[in-house]
Amino acid sequence: MMEEKDININEEENLEEVNTENAENAKNAESAENTEAATEEAEELNPLAKAQQEIEELKTQLLYKAAEFENYRKRTLKERAELILNGGEKVISAILPVLDDMERAIANGAKTDDPQVLREGVELIYNKFVKTLEGQGVSKIETKDANFDTDLHEAVAMVPGMGDDKKGKVIDCLQEGYKLNDKVIRHAKVAVGQ
């Protein structure tokens, strides 16, 4: 009989523990449901808070984008300034060998009295310089037997009495004109038939 009482007491204790756990689980579930309901209710009741949160997020994004744009602008200005300062580097590097040739010609010119040798040296340097300019996109404006074109030529003299076939044509080029990649950088100074 004692054993039965012990078993009954143990069973009652176990039942009490199970009931306590069930009650706690029910309480927790009820609490979770209440929290969810309260959150949903708060969201429904407080759209202003939600809108303010969205506004804060948008402000943060705006500040980030503004800072990003400012950095982009500064970087672009720096690159542009660097291009302006060092933009001629390619051209200067191409011209330096011509300068070296001129220095050698001057040094060797003092050693010789033959004008033909000096002339040949100057012609070689001139040809090298012209090729260097052409390599950089510089070209001469053709004037021989060309019609006068105000986009390419600058009339500095009018030559009367040349006949109808020479009227409006370039008679003589007084100073060569040049283009850089199809853009006129110096107009050719010419005499035009009248």
- Nearest of 93, 166, 100 to residue 132 by alpha carbon: 93
Tokens 């090298």 correspond to 128
Residues 17 and 1 in one domain: yes
Is residue 174 one of the residues assigned to a domain? yes
Q: Mean pLDDT, consecutive 10-residue segments, the chain of 194 residues?
A: 50 54 55 58 72 94 96 96 85 90 85 84 91 92 88 90 81 92 92 87
The per-residue pLDDT for range 56-97, each reduced to its tens digit, is: 999 999 999 999 999 999 999 999 998 888 878 888 889 999
Residues 132 and 97 in one domain: yes
Is residue 166 one of the residues assigned to a domain? yes
The residue range of the domain holding 20 is 1-33
- Nearest of 130, 128, 170, 175 to residue 147 by alpha carbon: 170
- Give the predicted TM-score (pTM) of the model: 0.56
Cβ(190)–Cβ(170) below 8 Å: yes
Residue 84 Cα distances to 80, 87, 88, 89, 137, angstroms? 6, 5, 8, 10, 19
Cβ(106)–Cβ(119) below 8 Å: no
Q: What pLDDT does residue 1 have?
A: 47
Residues 149 and 180 in one domain: yes
Residues 117 and 152 in one domain: no
Is residue 38 one of the residues assigned to a domain? no
